[in-house]
């Protein structure tokens, strides 16, 4: 969800800086609409069968992780697009920690309490409407890659991972490099 907020802030920033957002529509993507529709379908399944359905079934883990893998492959296929490599790396970091912890993104009870101070904490369970699993830090594999960074927004609290931060950097690179003016693009390509 923080990624969606970051995208909105980045687009507003680009508009305030008078960037040409129509340039985003002129980027050529490999895989085309068929690939995009497949990924949208995977995320629909992810929402319908994973995030908004309680439990920790094998099918939920498979759907969640296949959608992550599909995104990594899509962005590697489109490595020429600004930000695609960062985006693929961020998703890979998130997928790595999830796979190392049974297919779910680990969240410590302390961080969960920060995000939801009014909800009860039950370790080894998956909170409703999330792809997290509550694990103590000592039982979390690759803890440094899990949702450990607390974020307070004016309207809610959340936690993000290092992979999420890399994803935001990838989106920022896409928006600002793709919408750069001609002379700015020349400077970026010379670096």
Per-residue pLDDT of the chain (191 residues; tens, 9 = 90+): 778 888 899 999 999 998 988 888 888 888 777 777 877 787 787 777 776 777 777 888 888 888 888 888 888 888 999 999 999 999 999 999 999 998 889 999 999 999 988 887 777 777 777 788 899 999 999 999 999 999 998 888 999 999 999 999 999 999 999 888 765 555 555 55
Residue whose entry in the numeric block shows the structure tokens 């890979």: 92
The alpha carbons of the chain give a radius of gyration, in whole angstroms, of 18
Q: What is the pLDDT of residue 61?
A: 83
Please tell me the distance from the alpha carbon of residue 44 to that of residue 130, in angstroms, as a whole number: 14
Q: What is the pLDDT of residue 2?
A: 79
Q: What is the pLDDT of residue 137?
A: 94
Residues 6+ apart with CB under 8 A from 108: 134, 135, 136, 137, 140, 143, 146, 148
Q: What is the pLDDT of residue 162?
A: 97
Three-state SS for the chain is CHHHHHHHHHHHHHHHCCCCHHHHHHCCCCCHHHHHHHHHHHHHHHHHHHHCCCCCCHHHHHHHHHHHHHHHHHHHHCCCCCCHHHHHHHHHHHHHHHHHCCCCEEECHHHHHHHCCCCCCCCCCCCCCCCEEECCHHHCCCHHHCCCEEEEECCEEEEECHHHHHHHHHHHHHHHHHCCCHHHHHHHHHC
CA atoms in the 13 A half-sphere facing the CB of 57:
10
């Amino acid at each position: 969800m923080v990624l969606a907020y970051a995208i909105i802030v980045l687009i507003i920033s680009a508009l305030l800086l008078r960037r040409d957002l129509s340039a985003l529509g002129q980027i050529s993507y490999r895989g085309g609409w068929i690939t995009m529709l497949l990924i949208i379908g995977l995320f629909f399944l992810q929402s319908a069968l994973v995030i908004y359905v309680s439990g920790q079934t094998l099918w939920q883990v498979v759907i969640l992780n296949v959608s992550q893998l599909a995104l990594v492959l899509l962005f590697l296929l489109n490595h020429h697009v600004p930000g695609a490599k960062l985006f693929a790396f961020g998703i890979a970091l998130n997928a790595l920690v999830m796979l190392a912890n049974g297919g779910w993104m680990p969240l410590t009870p302390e961080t969960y309490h920060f995000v939801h101070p009014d909800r009860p904490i039950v370790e080894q369970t998956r909170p409703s409407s999330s792809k997290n699993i509550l694990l103590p830090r000592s039982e979390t594999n690759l803890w440094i890659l899990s949702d450990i960074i607390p974020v307070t927004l004016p309207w809610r609290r959340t936690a993000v991972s290092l992979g999420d931060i890399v994803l935001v950097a990838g989106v920022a690179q896409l928006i600002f490099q793709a919408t750069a003016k001609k002379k700015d693009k020349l400077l970026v390509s010379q670096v």
